Structure 1
Amino acid sequence: MSHVRNAGSQPGVMGRLAAEPVTVPASLSVLTPLVALFDLAWIAMLGGGAGLIYELLAQAIGGSYSSGGDLEQQIGIGLAVALLFSAFGHASGLYKTENLVRRYWQVTRATLVWLSVFLFLAFLAFLLKVGASFSRGQILVLFVSGLFGVAATRLLIVHTCSRVIRSGAFRPNRLVLVGLAEEFVTNPALPRLADFGHSVEAKFALPPSNSSVDDEERRQLIREVIRRTREIGADEIVLAIPWTKPDMIHDIERALRVLPIPIKLVPDSSICRVLDRPVCELGPTKAVQLQRAPLSAAQRALKQGIDRVLAASGIVALLPLFAVIGAAVRLESSGPALFLQQRAGFNGRPFRIYKFRTMTTADDGAVIVQATRNDKRVTSLGQLLRKLSIDEIPQLINVLRGEMSLVGPRPHALAHDTEYDRLIASYAQRHKMKPGITGWAQINGFRGETPELGMMQRRVESDLWYIESWSLWLDIRILLATVIHVMKSDRAY
């Protein structure tokens, strides 16, 4: 019913000394102040070094710069930055033992802390009106060099802390594990505890709730857990019990309250996947964020602002072209110059898309046939407009109205949306972002007719990758690549 880790055979004293590494009688929590002191030291030294580098650069370029040799002020600036970095780092969990071995987390979090420190200093200098007392060049050199320093030191810290933990040089965090036997086997987090400085000193398997074990035998097992925990001087007790058994969790937790150490419940094998997601505040409680919005409020404002400025500028600049093409379309065949068709936009909301008319028909119903190569419905002028994608230019009006973006998943006719939504499970996810005049799928060759379902699936995959990977630089790349692809593409007809 219970299992305590076997200590193994007992070799002689000299044999044990030779085989076992020397362990410092201090827990791994000592790494926190050591890493914090390391940060204070290298950032303070960087402050002095940045001042000297800036002075040498200024003298080499202009020959007249002199800082007066105030090395104390330069080190003082570095020390102020170091203290703020340490304070912000502690507040953000940068120095927690579990986080010291998380490479990507350390680099990204430390970079954010570094940016926050300089934003705070800039705000403070503005309020106190002391900006003129400091060299902007020195501050800039310190900021830029510190960005590289933060990334390099975080990689060094993660590597060093990982080696220290694996070496056993410090006493690990001693755990007593209590739970169901199946959780010991299936829970993915338990085998990795050693990587984060934990050592399971004893393990107790509880009888399942539906077993025939009576209450007295279960209480006897808990008494053995308490006795063994006191005997080995454990730091924490970890419960590995399915969250679907709240009564068992409550009974075990209540029985172990006599111990003056933390008791932690790990997520079971079925809930681990959910708790890997970010935990956020939700009114009086907390919630797990299963999906984030594709763009934050600031990103949406930035993207929409750029869209509307460029769309307005484009419309003004291209008005003469609009007039010439519109007149040519009407002269070639009867009907309006602009073709309007219902499309699905952001969050599935319908809107009317603007295009130059390139066909003798204006389909906008329940059945719409895609244009094919040598399609007889396409006019002679329409072939040229479609070849160069000039027929899409009026969609700048949709961008100005906020219905579309310059870059995003291309909108399809409502009839095609209905068809492909039934055939492709992830198709509707394209509507999580505003549709675009051009997009990642288009510059990668997934444009035009889609006679095979696989072609539409690849287009959808490209659109979803864009939504998950959005950045301003990505939009710029797509806009520049669109010009090249329009000139050499043979997929538009």
Structure 2
Amino acid sequence: MALAREATMANNLNRQKNREQIAVPISLNTISPLVAILDFGWIVLLGTAAGLAYHAAALEGNGEISNYIGSGIAVAALYSVFAHAAQLYRASNLLRIRWQVGRSILVWLTTFVFLASLVFILKIGATFSRGAMLAFFTSGLFANAIVRFIVARVCTYVIASNILKPNRVILIGVENDFGSHRATSALECCGYAVVGEFSLPIGPNQTITKKALRSLLREVVRYVRDARVDEVVVAIPWDKQDVIDEIECELRVLPLPVKLVPDDMTERMLRRPVFELGPTKVVELQRAPLSATQRNLKRTMDQICAALGLLLLLPLFGVIAVAIRLETPGPAMFFQTRVGFNGRPFKICKFRTMSTQDDGPIVVQATRNDKRITRLGNLLRRLSIDEVPQLLNVLRGEMSLVGPRPHALAHDNEYDRLIATYAIRHKIKPGITGWAQVNGFRGETPELGMMRQRVENDIWYIEYWSLGLDIRILLLTIARVLKSDNAY
């Protein structure tokens, strides 16, 4: 076994020597600052060109080139700071085309928002030409995407063609896991060269004797001293703490970094956000669907729109209430127990559209040609006017303008037993309208599959919420409510 391993490592070394004879003596990590310098250069050039082009087109002159160079330098400096914070120049990230394009555009937006805020606070708006900066910003969006695409493709090509000098590493781990481990198997694609593999001496009972382990580690030390190695990578399960401690202790004599690769379980945990919790750090297993800022933003829009809506529609409320009382005996408003945010029950407010007022352990869904629905109620339900009084629930903080539609308590209990993901709908406030409603899942749900689709739409909305999505849903609601066939 030892002879075979030595032969394999000798072949790896010979292959790497042949490769390095034609390689440029820089690594992928060296490219990162070069990309940062490239970004600084093209941003300054673009800022200057955009300013001169705007001045020539709009003002029919050449303008002061020094002003546009200064603007370009200011934007380039801010962009560099934000890009480093966003890990845009991290070596492994340079190869991710879609990630690079999306992250660079986000950094570009952040740069201009910060610059605009700074200009406003310092009252130096006269220094910058608004037209030139707008041209600079717009052209920069496209330039960012093009540059990131080119950088990622060039880095991928350079690594594949063996032009760069790779980081030489040796692996210490379980023999059968070297090829299957996701991190170690992809090292060569990221500019690393594996020049040696050392398998742990695992016994028949999956145990490792300290004597055998120390013998292996001494062999590692001799190999590293004879060959030129840049890093040692350890890929073993994290539950073998005694083995990790022994490796760390024995390899302390080497003047090079020793890195521990996470196992599959630990890697899944490390992908999650890490926060401080008092004196320790914690991994976030589940985040709140909306941050505090997002909740306040959504709540502010709800309050303003609900207050304005009630103020404008108050005369209409009076007319409808009188018409309901004249058609059938009973109250004009109907209050029913629904399940809201975090599973808390509340009383939803609607115009009464039926001759009955079901609100108990058994509630029958309205169906087409339902005899309980009054003639006026049929019109109100088709136009969704019966839902408008729920603006009162929005104003009271029990509902939102947009969110999963709340169901009667009886239906909620039933579907909670039948659909495993049903309760996820309660992670945010229920809404007067929602993503499921504008996608056609509105009204009666005679089949369980229809309710499942409604729940899937609600969960999608919770995961991808944005203020723009809320506005889009409100506009789609207005456009589609008049032609919906599912409301009765």
TM range (shorter): over 0.9
TM-score, normalised relative to structure 2? 0.92
Summarize the alignment of residues 372-383 of structure 1 with structure 2, pairs less than 5 Å apart.
372-383=367-378
Q: CA deviation at 1:326?
A: 0.9
**AA partner of residue 454 (structure 1):** G
The DSSP-based 3-state class of the residue aligned with 1:139 is helix
**AA partner of residue 475 (structure 1):** D
The corresponding residue for 2:355 is: 360
For residues 264-283 of structure 1, give each alpha carbon's deviation from its aligned partner in whole angstroms, at most 9, with x where no partner exists. 11111233333222333333
2:255 counterpart (231, 256, 260): 260
**AA partner of residue 158 (structure 1):** A
> Hey, what's the Cα distance between the residues in 1 that align with 2:14 and 2:464?
57
**AA partner of residue 83 (structure 1):** A
> Hey, what's the Cα distance between the residues in 2 that align with 1:10 and 1:390?
77
> Hey, what's the Cα distance between the residues in 1 that align with 2:159 and 2:454?
47
The corresponding residue for 1:43 is: 43
The corresponding residue for 2:201 is: 207
8 Å contact 2:112–2:137 — kept in the other structure?
yes
**AA partner of residue 386 (structure 1):** R
1:71 aligns with 2:71: no
1:139 counterpart (120, 133, 140): 133
> Hey, what's the Cα distance between the residues in 2 that align with 1:170 and 1:439?
53
The DSSP-based 3-state class of the residue aligned with 1:394 is helix
**Residues 11 and 249 of structure 1: is their aligned pair in 2 closer, same or farther, counting only changes over 3 Å?**
closer
1:226 counterpart (221, 239, 243): 221
**AA partner of residue 55 (structure 2):** E
1:472 aligns with 2:467: yes
**AA partner of residue 200 (structure 2):** L
The corresponding residue for 1:336 is: 331
The corresponding residue for 1:27 is: 27
The corresponding residue for 1:286 is: 281
The corresponding residue for 1:235 is: 230
1:323 counterpart (312, 318, 324): 318
> Hey, what's the Cα distance between the residues in 2 that align with 1:117 and 1:486?
41
> Hey, what's the Cα distance between the residues in 2 that align with 1:30 and 1:447?
57
8 Å contact 2:159–2:191 — kept in the other structure?
yes
> Hey, what's the Cα distance between the residues in 1 that align with 2:430 and 2:353?
21
For residues 418-476 of structure 1, give each alpha carbon's deviation from its aligned partner in whole angstroms, at most 9, with x where no partner exists. 11111111100011121111111112221111121111101101111111122222222
The corresponding residue for 2:97 is: 103
**Residues 41 and 176 of structure 1: is their aligned pair in 2 closer, same or farther, counting only changes over 3 Å?**
same
1:456 counterpart (433, 451, 472): 451
Q: Select between 205-214 and 305-314 the one with higher mean Cα deviation.
A: 205-214
> Hey, what's the Cα distance between the residues in 2 that align with 1:57 and 1:291?
53
The DSSP-based 3-state class of the residue aligned with 2:26 is strand
> Hey, what's the Cα distance between the residues in 1 that align with 2:342 and 2:32?
46
> Hey, what's the Cα distance between the residues in 2 that align with 1:438 and 1:9?
63
Summarize the alignment of residues 109-188 of structure 1 with structure 2, pairs less than 5 Å apart.
109-188=103-182
The corresponding residue for 1:370 is: 365
The DSSP-based 3-state class of the residue aligned with 1:178 is strand
**AA partner of residue 323 (structure 1):** G
Q: CA deviation at 1:242?
A: 0.9
Q: Select between 26-35 and 284-293 the one with higher mean Cα deviation.
A: 284-293
Q: Which runs of 5+ in 2 are unaligned?
A: none
8 Å contact 2:9–2:197 — kept in the other structure?
no
**Residues 286 and 173 of structure 1: is their aligned pair in 2 closer, same or farther, counting only changes over 3 Å?**
farther
8 Å contact 2:201–2:212 — kept in the other structure?
no
> Hey, what's the Cα distance between the residues in 1 that align with 2:165 and 2:177?
26
Summarize the alignment of residues 291-330 of structure 1 with structure 2, pairs less than 5 Å apart.
291-330=286-325
**Residues 300 and 42 of structure 1: is their aligned pair in 2 closer, same or farther, counting only changes over 3 Å?**
same
> Hey, what's the Cα distance between the residues in 1 that align with 2:479 and 2:123?
50
8 Å contact 2:339–2:406 — kept in the other structure?
yes
**AA partner of residue 25 (structure 1):** P
The DSSP-based 3-state class of the residue aligned with 1:287 is strand
> Hey, what's the Cα distance between the residues in 2 that align with 1:454 and 1:134?
58
> Hey, what's the Cα distance between the residues in 2 that align with 1:443 and 1:273?
36
> Hey, what's the Cα distance between the residues in 1 that align with 2:102 and 2:282?
23
The DSSP-based 3-state class of the residue aligned with 1:359 is coil
Give the number of aligned pairs. Answer: 483
Q: CA deviation at 1:147?
A: 2.3
Q: CA deviation at 1:309?
A: 1.4
**Residues 426 and 143 of structure 1: is their aligned pair in 2 closer, same or farther, counting only changes over 3 Å?**
same
The corresponding residue for 2:53 is: 53
> Hey, what's the Cα distance between the residues in 2 that align with 1:302 and 1:212?
57
**Residues 371 and 39 of structure 1: is their aligned pair in 2 closer, same or farther, counting only changes over 3 Å?**
same
The corresponding residue for 1:196 is: 190
- Structure 1 moving runs of 4+ over 6 Å: 9-12
> Hey, what's the Cα distance between the residues in 2 that align with 1:482 and 1:120?
35
The DSSP-based 3-state class of the residue aligned with 2:275 is strand
For residues 178-220 of structure 1, give each alpha carbon's deviation from its aligned partner in whole angstroms, at most 9, with x where no partner exists. 1123432442222222222222211111133744664322211
**AA partner of residue 301 (structure 1):** N
TM-score, normalised relative to structure 1? 0.91
1:418 aligns with 2:426: no
For residues 253-312 of structure 1, give each alpha carbon's deviation from its aligned partner in whole angstroms, at most 9, with x where no partner exists. 222111121221111123333322233333333332232222222222222212221111
Q: CA deviation at 1:417?
A: 1.2
The corresponding residue for 2:393 is: 398
**Residues 457 and 212 of structure 1: is their aligned pair in 2 closer, same or farther, counting only changes over 3 Å?**
closer
For residues 365-413 of structure 1, give each alpha carbon's deviation from its aligned partner in whole angstroms, at most 9, with x where no partner exists. 1221111222222222212211221111111111111211111110001
Identity of aligned residues (%): 58
**Residues 213 and 380 of structure 1: is their aligned pair in 2 closer, same or farther, counting only changes over 3 Å?**
closer
> Hey, what's the Cα distance between the residues in 2 that align with 1:9 and 1:434?
60
**AA partner of residue 472 (structure 1):** L
> Hey, what's the Cα distance between the residues in 2 that align with 1:23 and 1:474?
50
8 Å contact 2:234–2:261 — kept in the other structure?
yes
Q: CA deviation at 1:55?
A: 0.5
8 Å contact 2:12–2:195 — kept in the other structure?
no
8 Å contact 2:445–2:451 — kept in the other structure?
yes
The corresponding residue for 1:386 is: 381
8 Å contact 2:20–2:165 — kept in the other structure?
no
8 Å contact 2:9–2:195 — kept in the other structure?
no
**AA partner of residue 103 (structure 1):** I
**Residues 158 and 334 of structure 1: is their aligned pair in 2 closer, same or farther, counting only changes over 3 Å?**
same
**Residues 339 and 46 of structure 1: is their aligned pair in 2 closer, same or farther, counting only changes over 3 Å?**
same
> Hey, what's the Cα distance between the residues in 1 that align with 2:480 and 2:120?
48
